[in-house]
Amino acid sequence: MDNHVDERDYRLLERDRYTFLVLRRIIGSECSLLLTDHERLIICFTGEPYPVWIWTPDDASDEEYEKAYLIAKENGLLDGEHSFNVKYGLAEYFINRAANDNLTLKIKMNMFAYDCQNPIPPKSDVDGNIHKCTEQDIDDLVDFLALFHEEVEVDKKSIAEYRQDAENYARTGRLYFWVNDQGRKIASCQYAPTGDMASINLVYTQKAYRRKHYAENLVYQVTKIVQDEGCTPMLYTNADYVASNACYEKIGYVLRGKLCTVG
């Protein structure tokens, strides 16, 4: 296994360009662990608090799953503190194999991957407008990040770390709020480009303003911005959040792939 990637790895991930778009982005960054055979297995862990990404082909064998399991074990990733974003075949193998080692793993989240080729304008009429996040909005963004991660219970950080993230997001100019007619920031959404695609994330609405179609309108507007930049918009969702998935589908998002988080 090598600890560097090359064009072979990017070609492998092109097979799963929706479900593993994030992995395609992070393998080129600084990572705590990066291992690949350039053919059948890629393991990438950027560091706490993020999950470990493991890519395997659809036709992977039990012997290949065992190899992935042993590498995870040898690198201390089966300590109960780490989670894994994987395909369902590898998830099942990890769960059963861990049981043989008296370890307990389970699926923590089922995820859908969507893209949007033809955005559909929302039928709902809401007050307010889209607003690009700037340095003047960092304090508000820190609050949004803390609330978002606390609610979804993934990638939790300290307030200081959220502030650092907020400063980075403001610099990119890719994070947006929906601001209502009273000037209150009530929803957030950002996008991160990778090649000819861009993942939409940090979709969050303040609790008092939910089910009023603000996020629907914000995501639609950001989707259009992504398309205007020449990228295909995509996003991951919790498969069990029926209402939010229906919201995305209403504005033109189409299900393209499935994966899960095991921990």
pTM for this predicted structure? 0.88
Q: Give the distance from CA 145 to its chain's centroid.
A: 14
pLDDT tens for the 263 residues of the chain, in order? 999 999 999 999 999 999 999 999 999 888 899 999 999 999 999 988 889 999 999 999 999 999 999 999 999 999 999 999 999 999 999 999 999 999 999 999 999 999 999 999 998 889 999 999 999 999 999 999 998 888 877 788 899 999 999 999 999 999 999 999 999 999 999 999 988 999 999 999 999 998 899 999 999 999 999 999 999 999 999 999 888 899 899 999 999 999 999 99
Q: Give the whole-angstrom CA distance, residue 70 versus residue 80.
A: 15
The edge-to-edge listing of strands for the beta sheet with 52-55 is 33-36, 42-45, 52-55, 84-86, 254-262, 107-115, 232-238, 197-205, 185-194, 175-179, 129-132
Shortest CA distance to 139 belongs to which of 107, 168, 163?
A: 163
Residue in this structure with the two tokens 């039928």, named with its chain if needed: 123
Sign of the C-alpha dihedral, residues 120, 126, 128, 131? negative
Q: What is the pLDDT of residue 14?
A: 93
**Residue 78 has which token pair?**
């089966």
Residue-wise pLDDT for 129-149, tens only, equals 999 999 999 999 999 999 888
Whether 95 contacts 263, CB under 8 Å: no
Residue 10: strand, helix, or coil: helix
Other Cβ atoms less than 10 A from the Cβ of 70: the count is 12
Q: What is the 3-state secondary structure (H, E, C) of 88-127?
A: HHHHHHHHHHHHHCCCCCCEEEEEEEEECCCCCCCCCCCC
**Residue 230 has which token pair?**
């020449």
Residue 158: strand, helix, or coil: coil
Which domains, from first to last, does the chain contain? 7-105 (no CATH), 129-257 (3.40.630.30)
Largest CA distance in the chain: 59
Helices marked H in 15-61: 21-26
Q: Give the whole-angstrom CA distance, residue 67 versus residue 84.
A: 15
Q: Give the whole-angstrom CA distance, residue 41 versus residue 106.
A: 22
Compute the 3-state secondary structure of the chain and give helix, strand, coil in percent, each to the nearest 5.
40, 25, 35
Residue-wise pLDDT for 90-122, tens only, equals 999 999 999 999 999 999 999 999 999 999 999
